[in-house]
Structure formats: structure tokens, C-alpha cells
Amino acid sequence: MNFLRGFSLNAVCTGLTFGLGLVNQWLLANYVLDKAAYGRLYLWTNVAMIGAIVLGEWLRRGNTIVVGKEAVAVEARDNALLYCAGLLGVGLAVAYIGTDTWGRLLGAEARDYWPLLAALPVLFILQRAGLSVLLGRDQIKLYAAIPVLFIVVYLIGNAVLWWSGEAELALVLCVFAGAAGTAGLVAFAVLSGIGRFSWGDRAVLRRTFSVGARGAASVGLVFLMLRSDAFLIEYLLGEAAVGSYRVALNFAEMMQRLPDVAGAILLAKVVRGEDQRLLSLRVAQGILIFSLLAALALLLAGPLLIGLLFPDYPEAYEPLAWMLPGLVCLGFASVFNTKLAGQGYPVVTLWAAAAAFAVNILLGIWFIPTWGLLGAAWAKSVAYVAWALLVGGYYLRNEGLRWRALLRFWDLAATLKKSHKS
């Protein structure tokens, strides 16, 4: 599938996923959970995602590259299933032994949820590993459809909780886990048709780890840059403030969805050797145009949207508005970072994210006590701009280009016109 067709399909599915996800967040924030519980849900799912990145991101990143270059999808599939099964057993044992530690880190309630807290990272890994094999095989339709299934299951489950009056955080987490597990199992059910199951392939697993380890470190640092400030806000301002910040992030994530779609399709092309010269630059230009338009729309319509969908969270608008400059830069830089990822994660993908993460935390420590959520937004925006300058500068120098090449939008128009004619 060519880039534009794959991108269009993924954009439609991602738009559907985001729309249903926004409805889901509206339901959770307004009818299912109070502000503190809503913020706690965000913190706990972030902890689960950090666990998935630490324990399984190497599998996700390595699978896509190894399957794309070596056509070893059967071996990668079997390795992923065996790894997740073993990890679940170990995770449950460790979580049971460390129940008191969970309580100290995440609150007293976490002591009662240790099986969920152990299972969630594994379910994330299962889903993302299945998707990574599909992406490596360039099965873009299935890769795009399975996240839609996840959000549909999650939304229906939360709607049932609301309708039944059983609105508890533990049950929401159960629904979340069920949705992730369903999506992961469907991905592997689809992959069951590519060959008989076996006990895996150690050589392929070693190559997967070798390729994916640096990618996991890069992705982990980027994730910390994006989301670690939630824990700082919780420490300095409390869980209710995290809930308000989460509302702002609901709209901020809208701007990042399209860059994520473009990056996924681009990565599949890069690892399969189908990346035409300057394709990533053209994609970044398109994302920059989208980000500017989306930022303008949110700046103008943000109060209306928040008042309509999250009437109890009017304080979320100002942080959202101050995030927008950073989000514009984050969009096009994500495309450049994906191109570098497909080239083997050069060291800049590590230290640039580490530097931006440090900027976010240090400025947050300085700004949040005085300015609250507004200070958190300032810190986040500065960190995103810094990351974009570092990653974008490296990519452009590597391609023999200057920053003005990113702003030559007429080159993008000419490329699209040529592609349409062909």
C-alpha cells in the first residue's frame, strides 16, 4: 500500500478512535468518576504504560523492523506470545509480594488492585506487539482497525458502568484491561493464519532485542517528556489538579494523533526500504500545516469545546492554550524522529528526549508551585520546542537541508499534485 493510501486509511480510523475516545473521556469525567478519581485513573494508566515501555517496548520496536526487513512474522508472533505469558506470571508474583510498595507509591487503594496493576502492562505489551507484527508486514488495514476495536470496547464498558450505577475506579480499570486484552487477542488471532505456532525462535528474539533496545530507550524518554509532569502535578497540586490537566491533554492529544498516524506509516516504509528521498520532509510539512490549523481552532474554540464537553473543568483552557506552541513543534518533529527511528535510532533520539524531559521537570519544579497548571503548560511547551529544535536540526543537517526547507509549502503542493496525476 502506498503512503497516501495508508495514511488516509489510518487517518480515518484514528479520527474515529479519537472521536470515540473523547466521548469516553466525557463520560468518565462528567458521570463516572469525580475529579480526584479521574486524575488517579490517568496516573495509574500512565504507570501501566511506563511498565509496558520498560518491559516490552523493545519487542514492539524490534518486531516492526525485524519483520519488515527479514520477513520473520511467524517467529516474531510466537516469541511475543511466549514472552507475554511468562511476563504475566512473573508480574503477578512480584505485584503480590510488593503490595505495600504499590500502596505507598500510588495510594492506599492500590493495595487492593495489585492483580490489575500487574496485568495492565502485559496487556499493553500484548496489544502493541501484535500491532507491530502487522505493521512490519505492511498490513495497514488491520493495523488501523484494531485500535478502533479497543476504544469501542472501552467506551461500551464504561457506558454499562454508568448505566448500572457501578461507577468505581476499580471497575473502570477492569474495563480498560478488558479492552486492551481484547484488542491484543484479536491482533494475534488475525496473525494465527500466517503459519503454525511453535515455541519461538531464540535467534530472532535476540535480533529483535538488539534492534529494539535502543528504540525502547528512545520511546521511554519521549514518553517521560510527554507525560511525566502529571506525577509532578499530583505531588505539588493534588489528584484533582491532575484531572483538570487531563482534560487539557484530551484536546492536546488530538493534535498529536495525525503525526502518530503519519509516523507509523512512514516507519513501515523506511524499514522496508520504500522511503523515497524527502518523503519524510513532505510528511512533516503536511503535519506542520495541520498542527497550525488545529492550534488556531483550539485557541478560538477551546472555551466552547471545554464548556460543552467538560463543564466542570473550565480551568483546563488556559493550560491548553499555552501548550499549543509546543504541540505545533512536537508534530513535525515526531515525523523527523520516526525517520531517524527507521534508520536505527541514532544517539540523538536518546539525548534530545532526555534533555527535553529534564527541561520539562526542572521548569515544572520552578513554575508549578507559583503558577499551578499554567506553569506546567509553560514547562511542557518549552520542552517540546527544545526537542523539536534538537531532533529537527539533526535530521535537516543529515539530509543537507536548512530550516527554511520545512517552510517551502509549495514543494509539498507540487508533490501532492504529481502523486495525484500518477
Q: Mean pLDDT over residues 233-248, rounded?
A: 92
How far apart (Å, rounded) are the C-alpha atoms in residues 304 and 104? 39
Which strand (E) or helix (H) includes residue 12?
A: helix 3-27
Confidence band of 420 (pLDDT split at 50, 70, 90): very low
Q: Mean pLDDT over residues 46-53, rounded?
A: 88
pLDDT at 419 over 50: no
So what's the pLDDT on residue 216?
86
Contact assessment for residue 148 and residue 16, using Cβ atoms and an 8 Å cutoff: yes
pLDDT at 422 over 50: no
Contact assessment for residue 299 and residue 308, using Cβ atoms and an 8 Å cutoff: no
Interaxial angle between packed helices 317-342 and 279-309, expressed in degrees from 0 to 180 and rounded to the nearest 10 = 160
238 against 273, higher pLDDT: 238
So what's the pLDDT on residue 280?
81
Boundaries of every domain in the chain: 1-220, 228-422
On whether the pTM is more than 0.95, the answer is no
Task: Read off the pLDDT of residues 146-194 as tens digits, 9 standing for 90 and up.
Answer: 999 999 999 999 999 999 987 788 889 899 999 999 999 999 999 998 8
Confidence band of 212 (pLDDT split at 50, 70, 90): confident
Give first-to-last CA distance, the chain, whole Å.
15
292 against 94, higher pLDDT: 292
Interaxial angle between packed helices 239-271 and 317-342, expressed in degrees from 0 to 180 and rounded to the nearest 10 = 30
Q: What is the mean pLDDT of the chain?
A: 86
Cα–Cα nearest to 393, from 344, 342, 345, 332: 332
How far apart (Å, rounded) are the C-alpha atoms in residues 147 and 187? 10
CA angle 347, 348, 353 (to 5 degrees): 115
* Residue-wise burial string across 10-47, b where 16 or more C-beta atoms lie within 10 A, e elsewhere: bbebbebbbebbbebbbbbbeebbebbbbbbbbbbbbb
